[in-house]
């Protein structure tokens, strides 16, 4: 099945096309989510959410870019939103703690997150991983997509909707920042 045909059949919600999309791209989506969230459960849940979003919004896909580019874009945006929401939840948790409202008093649904997940699901992160997560958001996205996902500058530019020179600059600054952060830790 060619990509154009796959897109057409996805828009028609053809089960065979959906099966193919999930089989072909699930590792891509999962690894991007996990790269940002560092939590297997969250990455698994978010991957499912992303595929459901794709299923519901397939008719919006114009076909200008490759399916993988579209999926990368959705995965990066959803992962960043998830992290922002986790930070908000953590902020309100801290506020609650400040005013003496314990977690047991509140009957909120369990939402595993980067910060609150138990040790079994949140991995021990390496120095490099921590240093990458401390980079400014755009540098982190560009660096992750280029060095970990091994996408070309042009592909990263398309996913981030930035120019090629902007991506080069972001990756260069990311490398410099990592060098500054890690040089002394490594030695």
Partner 1 sequence: MSVSPQENELKRVKLKKHPMNCEHYELMIFDLPFSTREADVDTALREHVSQCSSCRLLLNRHLAEMQQISEKRRIHPNPFLYQDLLSRIENNASTAKESAFSAKRILRLSPTLMSAAAAIAFGVWIGGRLTMDIQTSPVNTSESREIMLSAVAEDLHLIDISESTLEIYLMDNQNPEQP
Distance CA 112, CA 104 (A): 16
Distance CA 139, CA 146 (A): 10
| 27 lies in the site for partner 1, by CB under 8 A | yes
For residue 123, what is the DSSP state? Answer: P
Question: Could you say which residues in the range 28-57 bind partner 1, by CB under 8 A?
Answer: 30-31, 34-35, 44, 47-48, 51-52, 55
Question: Could you say which residues in the range 112-131 bind partner 1, by CB under 8 A?
Answer: 123, 126-129
For residues 62 and 19, the answer to whether their CB atoms sit within 8 Å is: no
| 19 lies in the site for partner 1, by CB under 8 A | yes
User: Nearest 5°: CA angle at 127, between 139 and 125?
Assistant: 95
Distance CA 81, CA 88 (A): 10
Stretch that binds partner 1, among 25-33, 66-74, 81-89, 161-169 (CB under 8 A): 25-33
Sequence-ordered list of residues with C-beta below 8 angstroms from that of 89, at least 6 positions apart, any chain: 111, 113, 116
Q: How far is the CB of 48 from partner 1 (least distance, A)?
A: 6
The pattern of x and - marking residues 125 through 164 that bind partner 1 according to CB under 8 A reads -xxxx----------------xxx-xxx------------
**Contacts to partner 1 by CB under 8 A:** 18-19, 22-23, 26-27, 30-31, 34-35, 44, 47-48, 51-52, 55, 123, 126-129, 146-148, 150-152, 175-176, 178-179, 182-183, 186-187
């Amino acid at each position: 099945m060619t990509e154009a045909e796959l897109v057409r059949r996805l828009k028609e919600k053809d089960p065979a096309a959906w099966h193919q999309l999930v089989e072909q791209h699930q590792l891509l989506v999962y690894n991007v989510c996990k790269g940002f969230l560092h939590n297997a459960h969250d990455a698994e849940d978010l991957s499912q959410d992303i595929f459901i979003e794709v299923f519901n919004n397939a008719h919006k896909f114009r076909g200008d870019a490759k399916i993988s580019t579209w999926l990368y874009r959705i995965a990066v945006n959803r992962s960043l939103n998830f992290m922002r929401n986790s930070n908000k939840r953590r902020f309100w948790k801290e506020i609650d703690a400040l005013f003496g409202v314990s977690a047991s008093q509140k009957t909120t649904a369990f939402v595993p997150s980067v910060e609150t997940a138990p040790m079994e699901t949140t991995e021990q992160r390496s120095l490099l991983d921590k240093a990458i997560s401390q980079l400014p958001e755009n540098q982190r996205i560009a660096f992750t997509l280029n060095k970990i996902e091994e996408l070309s500058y042009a592909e990263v530019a398309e996913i981030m909707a930035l120019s090629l020179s902007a991506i080069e600059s972001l990756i260069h600054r990311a490398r410099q920042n990592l060098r500054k952060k890690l040089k002394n830790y490594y030695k």
